[in-house]
Chain A
Amino acid sequence: MSSVLYDSPGPLARRRELVGSIVGVLILLGLVGLGLWYAAQRGVFDADRWDVLYDPPKNQTAANVWRSLLVQGLGATLRAAVFAAPLALFLGLLLALWRTARLRWLRVPAIAAIELFRGLPVLLMMFFGFLALGMPAFQAVVFGLVIYNMAIFAEILRAGLASLPKGQAEAAYAVGLTRSQTLMSVLLPQAVRTMMPSLIAQLVVLLKDSSLGFIIGYAELLKSIQNNSQYFGPQYLVALFTVGASIYLVVNLSLSWLARWLERRTSRTSAPARDAEMVAMQASGSGIVSADT
């Protein structure tokens, strides 16, 4: 699309763009450099604010620090996601199937559950598990992630089912498959395949949302950054945060790229890839997936 909005640049324009690019990058680098210089003046980059990463004080070893960040912190983040994701997927699938029930009054509870849980903050559901149900922090985080994401997964699968051409179901009925056979062996596999990028995008959201555990005191990555900076002193916060943010970015970006790679693969073979992209985008905003695609 964007390529049609303007002429493809000629030699002069290309040269101008090159100059512009260089100037732009220089200005950006200059600003970043200025910021870093300013920070350096405040001692942000002094060795004694970073030695926590290789030679920590208080008789702790660097191995301890890294273990607390990577094994305990990242480990706890991943553990919450690894426990929550399959559960949410499974329950989301159940809800999506329940939603297809032929009788209206049978369908209603599923629709109500989906609409209710999509409309509430994940954090509130974590608090509900934590304060009202008295769960330990880990369970409360998983509880919040599962309840919220099962509703989102159910909605993504519903959108996937809705995006399939009518002929699929008609053909299945025509060869004599029952309703549930049609759903399970014809429609659902296609819906899951179509919606795979959206599902993975939502998994990234799930992983990101596990950081809300920080607020209820779950010892995930952000919390372990904070615990370390509390233990060693606030002067180490920048160093610890830099490491923690990098870990988050590496993990999330890899997952996002996996989602995009899968999307390219699926878009080659199936038609409604555009819909999938829209849903993925909306889902990754933790938003309500649009009701009609």
Chain B
Amino acid sequence: MDVIADNLPAYLQGFSLTLRLTLYAGGLALAIGLVLAAMRVSPLRPMRGFAATYVELLRNTPLTLVFFFIILVAPRFGVLLPLDFIGFAVVALTLYTAAFVCEAIRSGINSVGIGQAEAARAIGLTFGQTLNQVILPQAFRTVIPPLINVFIALAKNTSVAAGFGVVDLMGTGRRLATANPGGVTWVLVGVALGYLVITITLGAIAAQVERKVAFTR
């Protein structure tokens, strides 16, 4: 127990890094995922194909492999990003999470009644107008809970960065576990509490939103 109290500053530092990784990667993945989702429903076949392939590939690749590729393999191809390991972690997490964001948004778009799109098209709106002014605003509400679930997954997935040069919450726990061989259990309980703060908060928000959405629908 004392282990947690004694190392509170280290925990907080790790926690804030985990939070930052989640925020940065979450924001970027949201942007890229949105673009991918638009591509997936677009009239242009190559765009649809590209987005579908991307999502399929990334969803079936372990995140560990993405990290491994970006940090250890890509430089051998001459792809060298001017980033530190936190930056690499954000890139890996973004590329991976974007695929899931895309899927969440696409399922949200699909959940909007087909009559909405038909009506929009009937009054002469273009693809862009239909998507932006009719479908997405309605999809937005239904898309929030699954999106939050994707971000919860992201928050947990940031822990993989601990294996690749980043001292986040997980990495801090690992380091403290080495320094306190007798108190490993408590060290890891401290780490667990940190993750629960993020995931349970996000989960509660998701449940709240979901209740609201279910009500208004």
Contacts and interface: CB of A to CB of B under 8 A. Distances in A.
Chain A–chain B contact at Cβ < 8 A: yes
Interface residues of B, number: 73
B210 A119 contact: no
B162 A122 contact: no
Interface string A253-276: 100100000000000000000100
Closest 8 CB pairs of A and B: A215-B163, A287-B153, A287-B149, A24-B46, A119-B199, A211-B62, A252-B60, A121-B159
A132 B185 contact: yes
Interface of A: 1-2, 4-7, 9, 17, 20-21, 24-25, 28, 35, 38-39, 41-42, 44, 115-116, 118-124, 127-128, 131-132, 204, 208-212, 214-215, 222, 226, 234, 237-238, 241, 244-245, 248-249, 252-253, 256, 274, 277-278, 281-282, 284-292
- Tell me the interface secondary structure of chain A in the complex: helix
Majority SS at the chain B contact face: helix
B59 interface: yes
A1 B150 contact: no
Contacts of B32: none
Interface in B155-170: 156-157, 159-160, 162-163, 170
A123 B145 CA distance: 24
A204 B60 contact: yes
A256 B46 contact: no
10 contacts: A4-B118, A5-B127, A6-B43, A132-B185, A245-B61, A248-B60, A248-B65, A274-B111, A286-B153, A292-B210
Given A1-B110, A286-B156, A288-B206, A44 B188 contact: no
Contacts of B114: 1, 4
B89 interface: no
B36 interface: no
B206 A290 contact: yes
Given A284-B59, A285-B149, 9 more contacts: A123-B159, A124-B159, A211-B63, A211-B65, A241-B73, A245-B65, A248-B65, A290-B206, A290-B210
A66 B145 CA distance: 44
A215 B157 contact: no
B200 A120 contact: no
B34 interface: no
B203 A288 contact: yes
A5 B206 contact: no
